[in-house]
């Protein structure tokens, strides 16, 4: 029997977007309330999924239906399926998504013009994110992956800051380039693999099929037995590098990160929350779900590169955070640094490293949402985000200061918060790999550890400059009111989430662990 919960989770925001489209634009309040209702219903569905989920390696709540099936004669059969499901990797990210989408919809009350267009795009983006985390067919995954691009482009370009056109175009071009690289590899995989359920040659986009090297057509371009090379690398090595590049742009990893700070600085608060908390995670998800299991031998061969990109991102992001004058830009570069830990964990190919990478994505999603909400609240009160223009805020905004301290301390990896757990597991994986397989060198492992010290530096320095010392603000307009009940309602649940995950991480670790064991088996048993 086919399970329809995931389809309902995807179709609900699309149905909501369709309904909002036919409502006249003058009914402004309906659009945000409609989006909020959709996210609440999605949260209930996601909780139902959790209650039915049995921790383990198997894909669950699966719906698998034939979608495209065309007989091309001697060229075989072109086949793509509507195939969705969840496991210990996707379910935590779906939970993160529905929670963040709800808080982003609440924060979007500051959108005062063209609300209809904004919330229609918001719901389309919602469906695309959920679809990306559940698709088990590469064509379906690619369509959802691409559908995230246009809503975000317009949400930055229309509702962003003074340089919104530049930021949105840069975002669009970077991510489109990455998508093209991914599509090239998907086409090569499709032409190289076959559907085991068909007697004749049936090409497939099915991800579980393509993870098994026995399903590849002998002599095909991306078949493991094809000896052909192009320059320094084999065809499969090139394919892995293209996938890595495409997903690293979305992550983003240095030097493919330059679109991110501009996008965050210009984006409205709700969009920054979505961008940092969800869209960056799709990049990490793609590397774990797609790139590594499809090319296990090639991934291990280039583990030094993946680990190196991670460490460079950790250090480069940290140093730029130290140099940042704009609070939003500081948070954006800290995201680059923290997502670097995800790459290091993946590169280790260890149980603790991969578990830490997934945990880090969930933790960073919560913390980045909280950080950008706080940055937006400061801008509402003082009219700017420049760190040097604020001093002694703790004397006038004590409740705001408290939540900033929680978010900053959690982000720098203080024990007792979720950031500590993710980074601890990643570092355990890195040092394990350094002393056993060598996938991560000891030098890179220690360099990643140094990123924690730098994180403490840029967060604590920002706290010292903005919240302590004599009170002073340089701003055109100042409305220094401490947090409202609405603001506390946004920040308190996120604070509790990061605290609970830091003190009692076992439920989330139980979800992730079954997937990690299965993923490590894929990385060993499916190598040529």
pLDDT of residue 477: 55
Per-residue pLDDT tens digits for 171-197: 999 999 999 999 999 999 988 877 665
Kindly tell me if the per-residue pLDDT of 487 is higher than 80. Answer: yes
pLDDT of residue 233: 85
Residues 140 and 150: their CA atoms lie apart, in Å, by: 17
Sequence-distant (≥ 6) Cβ neighbours of residue 454 within 8 angstroms: 315, 318, 319, 321, 322, 337
Contact 314, 340 (CB under 8 A): yes
- In 193-326, which ranges are continuous DSSP H helix? 207-210, 235-250, 259-266, 269-274, 280-286, 292-294, 296-301, 303-323
Per-residue pLDDT tens digits for 372-385: 999 999 988 888 88
Residues 433 and 499: their CA atoms lie apart, in Å, by: 29
Give the pLDDT mean for 496-523: 94
Angle at which helix 327-348 crosses helix 259-266, to 10 degrees, equals 140
Name the residue with higher pLDDT: 190 or 366: 366
Kindly tell me if the per-residue pLDDT of 199 is higher than 60. Answer: no
pLDDT of residue 49: 94
Per-residue pLDDT tens digits for 309-342: 999 999 999 999 999 999 999 999 999 999 999 9
Per-residue pLDDT tens digits for 44-85: 999 999 999 988 777 899 999 988 887 776 666 778 889 999
Sequence-distant (≥ 6) Cβ neighbours of residue 157 within 8 angstroms: 164, 165, 167, 168, 169
Nearest to 140 by CA among 55, 197, 215, 65: 65
Give the pLDDT mean for 459-463: 93
Cβ neighbours around 321 below 10 Å, total: 24
Instruction: Confirm whether pTM is higher than 0.85.
Output: yes
Kindly tell me if the per-residue pLDDT of 468 is higher than 80. Answer: yes
Residues 374 and 401: their CA atoms lie apart, in Å, by: 10
pLDDT of residue 527: 54
Kindly tell me if the per-residue pLDDT of 218 is higher than 90. Answer: no
Mean predicted lDDT score pLDDT of the chain: 91
Per-residue pLDDT tens digits for 268-306: 999 999 999 999 999 999 999 999 999 999 999 999 999
pLDDT of residue 76: 65
Contact 379, 271 (CB under 8 A): no
pLDDT of residue 194: 72
């Amino acid at each position: 029997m086919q399970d329809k919960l995931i389809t309902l989770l995807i179709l609900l925001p699309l149905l909501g977007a369709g309904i909002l489209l036919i409502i006249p634009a003058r009914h402004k309040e309906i659009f945000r309330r409609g989006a909020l209702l959709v996210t609440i219903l999605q949260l209930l569905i996601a909780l139902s999924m959790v209650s039915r989920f049995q921790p383990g390696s198997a894909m669950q709540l699966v719906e698998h239906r034939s979608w495209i099936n065309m007989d091309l004669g001697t060229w075989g059969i072109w086949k793509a399926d509507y195939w969705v499901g969840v496991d210990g990797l996707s379910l935590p990210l779906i939970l993160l998504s529905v929670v963040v989408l709800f808080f982003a919809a609440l924060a979007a009350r500051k959108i005062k013009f063209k609300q209809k267009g904004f919330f229609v795009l918001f719901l389309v983006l919602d469906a695309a994110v959920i679809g990306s985390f559940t698709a088990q067919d590469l064509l379906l995954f690619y369509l959802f992956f691409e559908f995230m691009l246009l809503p975000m482009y317009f949400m930055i370009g229309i509702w962003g800051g003074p340089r919104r056109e530049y930021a949105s175009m840069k975002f669009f071009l970077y991510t489109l380039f990455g998508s093209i690289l991914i599509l090239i590899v998907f086409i090569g995989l499709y032409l190289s693999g076959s559907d085991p359920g068909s007697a004749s040659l049936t090409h497939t986009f099915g991800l579980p099929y393509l993870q098994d090297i026995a399903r590849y057509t002998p002599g095909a371009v991306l078949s493991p037995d094809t000896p052909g090379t192009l320059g320094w690398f084999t065809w499969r090595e090139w394919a892995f590098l293209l996938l890595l590049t495409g997903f690293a742009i979305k992550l983003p990893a240095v030097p493919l990160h330059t679109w991110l700070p501009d996008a965050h600085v210009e984006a409205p608060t709700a969009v920054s929350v979505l961008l940092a908390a969800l869209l960056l995670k799709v990049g990490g998800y793609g590397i774990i779900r797609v790139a590594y299991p499809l090319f296990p031998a090639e991934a291990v061969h280039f583990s030094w590169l993946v680990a190196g990109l991670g460490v460079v991102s950790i250090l480069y992001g940290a140093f730029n955070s130290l140099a940042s004058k704009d609070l939003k830009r500081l948070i954006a570069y800290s995201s680059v640094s923290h997502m670097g830990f995800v790459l290091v964990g993946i590169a280790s190919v260890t149980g603790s490293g991969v578990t830490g990478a997934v945990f880090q994505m969930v933790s960073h999603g919560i913390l980045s949402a909280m950080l950008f909400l706080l940055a937006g609240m400061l801008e509402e009160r003082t009219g700017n985000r420049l760190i040097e223009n604020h001093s002694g805020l703790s004397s006038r905004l004590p409740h705001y200061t408290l939540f900033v301290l929680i978010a900053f301390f959690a982000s720098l990896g203080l024990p007792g918060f979720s950031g500590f757990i993710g980074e601890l597991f990643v570092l355990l994986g890195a040092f394990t790999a350094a002393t056993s397989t060598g996938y991560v060198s000891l030098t890179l492992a220690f360099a990643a550890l140094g990123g924690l010290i730098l994180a403490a530096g840029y967060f604590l320095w920002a706290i010292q400059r903005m919240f302590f010392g004599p009170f002073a603000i340089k701003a055109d307009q100042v409305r220094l009111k401490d947090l409202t009940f609405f603001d506390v309602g946004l920040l308190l649940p996120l604070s509790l989430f990061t605290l609970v995950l830091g003190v009692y991480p076992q439920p989330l670790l139980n979800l992730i662990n079954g997937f990690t064991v299965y993923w490590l088996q894929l990385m060993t048993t499916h190598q040529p």
